[in-house]
C-alpha cells in the first residue's frame, strides 16, 4: 500500500483564478493518476502522470486547463486554471503499486464561486 | 468498450441485514476487479480485489467473487453495521502499468440501527 496526502484539503475560489493541488506519496512510485469526482458522481480520469515524461490526458481534458507537473517519484501537482463553477468537484490523486492496485489520496474539495 | 455497471442506489438496510450490491462489467480481455469504499467526507479506500476468474476477495466481512461466466463481481456482507454506511464503487483495470481504473457510478449504502 501507500500513504498519500493532498493539499489543500478544500478551497473556495473565485471564477477566473487558478488553484494548484499537491499530491505527496510516502514511497517512490512510477505512475500517478489524477481523477475528478463531480458532486454525486463517479470518478473520471483526468490524466496519467509518469515521472520523466509529459502527462497523458483523457478525452475532454487538456493541458492548458489542467497542467500537471511530476518532478520526482513521490510528488505531483495538478493545476485547475481559469476556473468556472463547473470545475467545482473533488480532485483525487492516486498511485499505482507493483501489484497494479491503486491507492487514493483524501481528495481536494474545490468550490468555485 | 470497457465499462462497469452497478445497481442503482441508495440501498437502505437495518443493522445486521444481509447486503448485496450488484456489479457487472464489460471488458475486452481479462481485467482485475476491485471494490472501493468512500466514507462521508473521505477519499476512496481499497476494500477488496480479485485478479482472475473464481477468485474471491474479502475484507472486513465483505466478499466478492470474480465470475467470468456472468461477468459479475457482486459485493456481499452477511451482517451490516451502521459504520458500513458509505458509497461503494466497483472498478476494473487491466494488469498493465499505467492503466487507469474504470469505475461504476457508485452505490450509496445507508444502514440504520
The tens place of each residue's pLDDT in chain A, 113 residues long, gives 789 999 999 999 999 999 999 999 999 998 899 999 998 888 999 999 988 888 999 999 999 999 999 999 999 999 999 999 999 999 999 998 877 788 999 999 999 99
Q: What pLDDT score was predicted for residue A52?
A: 80
Number of Cβ pairs < 8 A linking chain A and chain B: 51
Query: Which of B36, B100, B104 has the CB atom closest to A48's CB atom?
Result: B100
Please state, in angstroms and as integers, the Cα–Cα distance from residue A2 to each residue in A50, A102, B97, following that order: 17, 9, 16
Q: What pLDDT score was predicted for residue A88?
A: 96
Closest-CA residue of B relative to A49 is: B98
Take residue A73 and report the three cell numbers written for it. 517519484
Query: pLDDT: is B30 or B68 the higher one?
Result: B68
Exposure b/e, A30-52, CB count within 10 A at least 16 = b: bbbbbbbbeeeebbebbbbbebe
Confidence of residue B72 (pLDDT cuts 50, 70, 90): very high
From the centroid of its chain, how far is CA A67?
10
Query: pLDDT: is A75 or B94 the higher one?
Result: A75
Q: What pLDDT score was predicted for residue B99?
A: 81
Residue in A23, A41, A43 to test binding to B, most B beta-carbons within 10 Å: A43
**SS3 assignment, position B49:** strand
Take residue A24 and report the three cell numbers written for it. 505527496
Take residue B107 and report the three cell numbers written for it. 452505490
- What's the average model confidence in pLDDT over B33-52? 92
Question: Cβ contacts (< 8 Å) between B99 and chain A: which residues?
Answer: 100
Confidence of residue B95 (pLDDT cuts 50, 70, 90): confident
Contact state of B103 with A42 under an 8 Å Cβ cutoff: yes
Distance of residue A18 Cα from the nearest chain B Cα, in angstroms: 23
Contact A63, A49 (CB under 8 A): no
Q: What pLDDT score was predicted for residue B86?
A: 96
Q: What pLDDT score was predicted for residue B48?
A: 96
Distance of residue A23 Cα from the nearest chain B Cα, in angstroms: 13
Closest-CA residue of B relative to A34 is: B100
Residue B93's closest CA among B84, B101, B104?
A: B101
Contact state of A100 with B93 under an 8 Å Cβ cutoff: yes
Q: What pLDDT score was predicted for residue A109?
A: 95
Backbone φ and ψ of B33, nearest 5°: -120, 145
Contact B47, B59 (CB under 8 A): yes
Q: What pLDDT score was predicted for residue A85?
A: 96
- What's the average model confidence in pLDDT over B34-39? 95
Q: Is the pLDDT of residue B1 over 90?
A: no
Confidence of residue B11 (pLDDT cuts 50, 70, 90): very high
Residue in A94, A104, A106 to test binding to B, most B beta-carbons within 10 Å: A104
- What's the average model confidence in pLDDT over B70-94? 96
Identify the helix (H) or strand (E) that includes residue A5. strand A4-7
Q: Is the pLDDT of residue B96 over 90?
A: no
Residue in A92, A102, A107, A109 to test binding to B, most B beta-carbons within 10 Å: A102
Q: Is B5 exposed, middle or buried (0-12, 13-18, 19+ CB in 10 A)?
A: middle
Q: What angle do CA A60, A62, A67 make, to 5 degrees?
A: 140
Question: Cβ contacts (< 8 Å) between A31 and chain B: which residues?
Answer: 97-98
For B81, residues 6+ apart whose C-beta sits below 8 A from its C-beta are: B15, B16, B111
Q: Is the pLDDT of residue B9 over 80?
A: yes
Take residue A69 and report the three cell numbers written for it. 507537473
Contact A6, A108 (CB under 8 A): yes
Range with the largest mean pLDDT of A22-31, B3-12, B72-81: B72-81
Contact B87, A20 (CB under 8 A): no
Amino acid at each position: 500500500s501507500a500513504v498519500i496526502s493532498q493539499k489543500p484539503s478544500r478551497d473556495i475560489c473565485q471564477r477566473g483564478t487558478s488553484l494548484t493541488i499537491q499530491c505527496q506519496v510516502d514511497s517512490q512510485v512510477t505512475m500517478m493518476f489524477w481523477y475528478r469526482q463531480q458532486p454525486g458522481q463517479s470518478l473520471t480520469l483526468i490524466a496519467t502522470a509518469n515521472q520523466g515524461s509529459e502527462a497523458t490526458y483523457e478525452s475532454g481534458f487538456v493541458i492548458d486547463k489542467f497542467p500537471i507537473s511530476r518532478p520526482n517519484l513521490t510528488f505531483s501537482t495538478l493545476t485547475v486554471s481559469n476556473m468556472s463553477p463547473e470545475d467545482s468537484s473533488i480532485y483525487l490523486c492516486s498511485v499505482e503499486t507493483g501489484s497494479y492496485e491503486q491507492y487514493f489520496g483524501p481528495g481536494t474539495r474545490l468550490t468555485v464561486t | 468498450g470497457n465499462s462497469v455497471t452497478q445497481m442503482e442506489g441508495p440501498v437502505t438496510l437495518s443493522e445486521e441485514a444481509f447486503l448485496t450490491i450488484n456489479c457487472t462489467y464489460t471488458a475486452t480481455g481479462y481485467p482485475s476487479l476491485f471494490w472501493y469504499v468512500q466514507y462521508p467526507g473521505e477519499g476512496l479506500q481499497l476494500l477488496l480485489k480479485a485478479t482472475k476468474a473464481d477468485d474471491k476477495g474479502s475484507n472486513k466481512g465483505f466478499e466478492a467473487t470474480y465470475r467470468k461466466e456472468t461477468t459479475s463481481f457482486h459485493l456481499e456482507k452477511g451482517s451490516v453495521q451502521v459504520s458500513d454506511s458509505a458509497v461503494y464503487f466497483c472498478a476494473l483495470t487491466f494488469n498493465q502499468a499505467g492503466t487507469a481504473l474504470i469505475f461504476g457510478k457508485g452505490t450509496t449504502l445507508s444502514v440504520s440501527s
